[in-house]
Amino acid sequence: MKILHTSDWHIGRTLYGRKRYEEFDAFLAWLASIIAQEQITVLLVAGDIFDTSTPSNQAQELYYRFLCRIATSTCRHVIVIAGNHDSPAFLNAPKALLRELNVHVIGAATEHLDDEVLLLQSDTGEPELIVCAVPYLRDRDIRLAEAGESVADKDQKLLEGMRSHYAAVCQRAEAQRNALGLTIPIIAMGHLFTAGGQTIDGDGVRELYVGSLAQVTSAIFPDCIDYLALGHLHVPQLLNGSEVRRYSGSPIPMGFGEAKQVKSVCLVTFCLQNAQVTLLNVPVFKQLERIQGTWEAIAARLQVLSAAKSQAWLEIVYDDEEVAGDLRERLESLIAGTLMDILRVKNNRVIARVLNRIHAQETLDDLDVHEVFARCLTLHGVSDDQRPELQRAYQEIVMALYDDEASASLTR
């Protein structure tokens, strides 16, 4: 039995205002060809299918067209769980219809945990796999807020809620396997940030929970899991060094920080309950390149790319001593007549001399919302003993805004 694990498609994502539908279309076409080529049995999509809770018509068309194509392939089942970017209501809306195509969608934590335990059958009706399809668990799904709680109490409740949810779902899966009397695998899915997870600046990975995010460890996952398919982190990586517990990573680079990263999907082959994992590298559908240095270094690299007839999207970071007020114009003249396009120019010299910032190599779009708030506290001289509660309250507001964005689609 062959299973393909992927996540974090972020269909509809833009890069400095540029639409990327051609890349998403090319990736999904490639994925469909891999499913046919490798005779994939089950496709797992571990969250963040779309980049926003209200995807565009074009983004939706790519998604549904892909699912229809897979329905006629060798792939018997597709399991889709929601990520923190997805709207649970939107993903769940066509759930019954998609089920007729053997596409199982879990958009949010369910009232009955048995709904998150999927027993998949072969073409002949024989049980062949159990999937614990756990979606992104929102704070309100796993923690009951109480007045007068300390920060430590809230953090402990959050971690206990996650641990309890996975324990309960996996317990049901194991009981079902024992009742069948078969040695079939149990796969668990999730969309979360675990301790030690690797990220890259500018990859758009949102902080999921307020508080002790880094304390979510692999210990919350029961031992009965034969393969753990995670989403949320864009860098392909193992969880706690385990070959059968891993993040597949995003299939296309979400920003210039991921430009040199090799993207992949996970091909999982089962023999009874033993999983063997092979990474299948995803082709580069649109070259991204960050060029940083002096004017001479930047110009030299642009000449190399021009000679190679590159069609790359570029981010230029200027680090020269000379103040170049006409930097954009000079760069555009260098790539005139080529197929390259400069999406962003960051002039560190101008930032340092003209803006005279404390952190000279930063612009507002280099900072996340939490860092901006922290600097506001410093600017206003807020004492260290007041900071934790203020930062906690601010984080709760930010997370509420993210959740409201997802819920708003219910009324649209």
Residues 188 and 56 in one domain: yes
Dihedral sign from CA coordinates of 201, 389, 153, 170: negative
Is residue 228 in a domain?
Answer: yes
What pairs with residue 46 in β-bridges?
A: 81
- Residues with Cβ within 8 Å of 113's Cβ and at least 6 positions away in sequence, in order, are 165, 168, 169, 172
Cα(134)–Cα(46) distance, rounded to whole angstroms?
9
pLDDT of residue 309: 95
3-class secondary-structure state, position 117? strand
Q: What is the mean pLDDT of each run of 10 residues along the chain (412 residues)?
A: 96 94 97 97 97 95 96 94 94 94 94 93 92 91 67 76 93 95 94 83 55 67 96 93 95 91 96 92 95 93 95 92 80 94 83 47 59 78 80 74 52 44
Residues 269 and 298 in one domain: no
Residues 258 and 306 in one domain: no
The domain that holds 336 is classified in CATH as 3.30.160.720
pLDDT of residue 212: 44
Residues 74 and 217 in one domain: yes
Residues 117 and 260 in one domain: yes
Last-in-domain residue among 265, 281, 297: 281
Residues 276 and 294 in one domain: no
Q: Which domain holds residue 270?
A: 2-281
Is residue 410 in a domain?
Answer: no
pLDDT of residue 401: 65
Is residue 341 in a domain?
Answer: yes
Helix ranges (DSSP H) in 2-86: 21-38, 57-71
